[in-house]
């Protein structure tokens, strides 16, 4: 088989989630043709999916060095940079990708996330909207734009975007978590619980799901249920300061003052200033 054939088969393995087989094929492609830039870029995607971010970065760098006009490598590296919280570099790579091909929704999405994390919500929303205009079925762009709207306090618009994201892909727990957080702001407790239940069914190890459901139960004055969910959130994430705080408040309401003091002190120690009295 040729290098291109191994590379193509590796892409198939990548798309069906067979990461190890994909890496084997990309390795073979590179051994046959060490200058096949797309094989490095594709292997970088697999390493990123496996959480091996440094190896992914090495491959994206190799792809760009071999082919400086290969825009997918800039898109992929731009995403990796925001995952590593290097937002300015993410923006630089996204700009480069857009200059090479202005019709890539993922490049605008990456740049939008980096801007959002830098506190530039208006500019981020522009990029997410551009990504959506290029691909109206791009669920992550609706989700990201919803997060930016929520940060601006535009909760109804956020809910609209989260709902659209869920309609396009109902199998991602973070979409439900984000909408539950927006519903919680509006004190729509039943909707919060419903979304958290959906999120938990998709990802039972997400502390945010249990915290959101617990917060809604707290709002409904169902304190025992709230405490159970805060217990679960804390077991998953022992540094979840808000879970300690609300659990402490629940204990306080129930008259269990010793437990309440312990939780409020822990929340304060973890940096939640509202618990520091």
pLDDT reported for residue 225: 96
Look over the chain and give the mean of its residue pLDDT values, rounded to a whole number. 95
Q: What is the pLDDT of residues 49-91, one digit of tens each?
A: 999 999 999 999 999 999 999 888 999 999 999 999 999 999 9
Domain span including residue 223: 191-277
What is the reported pTM? Answer: 0.88
Residues found in the chain:
277
The domain that holds 203 is classified in CATH as 1.25.40.10
Mean pLDDT of 223-250: 96
Residue 126 and residue 117 in contact, taking contact as beta carbons nearer than 8 Å: no
Say if 256 falls within a structural domain: yes
In a domain, 101, yes or no: no
Q: Are 229 and 214 in contact (CB under 8 A)?
A: yes
Q: Does residue 202 carry a pLDDT above 90?
A: yes
Could you tell me if residue 216 is inside a domain? Answer: yes
Asked if residue 277 has pLDDT above 90, the reply is no
* Count of the separate structural domains present in the chain: 1
Domain assignment present for 73: no
End-to-end CA distance of the chain: 69
The answer to whether position 271 is within a domain reads yes
Confirm whether 114 is domain-assigned: no
Contacts 24+ apart (CB under 8 A), 45-54: 45/14, 45/76, 46/14, 46/19, 46/22, 47/23, 48/76, 48/79, 48/80, 48/83, 49/19, 50/19, 53/80, 53/83, 53/84
Distance of alpha carbon 105 from alpha carbon 158, whole angstroms: 20
DSSP code at position 271: T
DSSP assignment string, 114-172: HHHHTT-HHHHHHHHHHHHHH-TT-HHHHHHHHHHHHHTT-HHHHHHHHHHHHHH-TT-
Buried b (16+ CB within 10 A) or exposed e, 162-189: bebbbebeeebbbbbbbbbbbbbeeebb
Q: How far apart are CA 71 and CA 52, in angstroms?
A: 22
Phi, psi of 271 (to 5 degrees): 110, 5
d(C-alpha 46, C-alpha 43), whole Å: 5
Assess if residue 121 is contained within a domain: no
Q: pLDDT tens digits, residue range 124-134? A: 999 999 999 99
Name the one residue in this structure whose structure tokens are 């762009």.
141
Which two structure tokens, joined as six digits, stand for 95? 């700009």
Please report whether residue 272 resides in a domain. Answer: yes
Give the CB-side neighbour count of residue 245, counting CA atoms within 13 A: 16
Q: Biggest alpha carbon distance in the chain? A: 73
């Amino acid at each position: 088989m040729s290098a291109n054939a191994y590379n193509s088969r590796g892409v198939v393995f990548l798309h069906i989630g067979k990461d190890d087989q994909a890496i084997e094929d990309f390795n073979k492609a590179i051994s046959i043709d060490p200058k096949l830039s797309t094989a490095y870029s594709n292997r970088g995607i697999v390493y990123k999916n496996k959480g091996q971010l440094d190896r992914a970065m090495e491959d994206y760098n190799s792809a760009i060095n071999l082919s400086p006009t290969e825009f997918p490598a800039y898109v992929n590296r731009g995403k990796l940079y925001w995952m590593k919280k290097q937002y300015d570099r993410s923006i630089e790579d996204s700009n480069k990708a857009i200059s090479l091909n202005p019709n890539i929704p993922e490049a605008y999405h990456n740049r939008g996330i980096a801007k959002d994390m830098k506190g530039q919500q208006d500019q981020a929303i522009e990029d997410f909207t551009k990504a959506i205009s290029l691909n109206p079925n791009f669920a992550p762009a609706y989700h990201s734009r919803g997060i930016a709207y929520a940060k601006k306090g535009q909760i109804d618009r956020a809910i609209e975007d989260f709902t659209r994201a869920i309609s396009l892909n109902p199998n991602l727990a973070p979409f439900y978590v984000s909408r539950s957080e927006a519903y919680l702001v509006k004190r729509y407790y039943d909707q919060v619980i419903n979304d958290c239940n959906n999120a938990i069914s998709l990802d039972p190890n997400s502390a945010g799901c249990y915290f959101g459901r617990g917060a809604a139960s707290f709002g409904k004055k169902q304190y025992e249920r709230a405490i159970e969910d805060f217990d679960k959130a804390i077991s998953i994430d022992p540094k979840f300061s808000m879970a300690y705080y609300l659990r402490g408040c629940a204990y306080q309401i129930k008259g269990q003052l010793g437990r309440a003091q312990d939780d409020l002190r822990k929340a304060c120690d973890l940096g939640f200033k509202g618990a520091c009295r």
